[in-house]
Homo-oligomer: A and B are copies of this chain.
């Protein structure tokens, strides 16, 4: 973690459950969550995220929804932006929820 600028995001105490569920109740945003679940920083290009089929502005929209819900954080370094999961913040705010969601996503295909 660095002192680079971050895009606006809710404080941990302000992360709202219904807002998080709304953010994750979309197949593209669930795909993004699974990408971010490696706890690495990710660039914002659709190709890097396996979302080549979507327009860049669409991907940006979905990333903003996740950030504004408190699911992700975006670090700005010069002209680059790097997105990562707020795992510690989510675990602090809603213990066990993220693990349950990731386990549920890994449940056998229906």
Q: A residues touching B (Cβ–Cβ < 8 Å)?
A: 13-27, 30, 93-97, 99-101, 103-105, 107, 110
Contacts and interface: CB of A to CB of B under 8 A. Distances in A.
Contact of A104 (B17, B25, B104): B17
How many copies of this chain does the complex contain? 2
A101 B104 CA distance: 12
A66 to B, nearest CB: 13
25 contacts: A13-B110, A15-B110, A17-B30, A17-B101, A17-B105, A17-B107, A18-B26, A18-B30, A19-B25, A20-B25, A21-B21, A21-B22, A21-B24, A21-B25, A21-B30, A21-B101, A22-B22, A23-B25, A94-B104, A95-B103, A96-B103, A96-B104, A97-B100, A97-B103, A100-B100
A110 B14 contact: yes
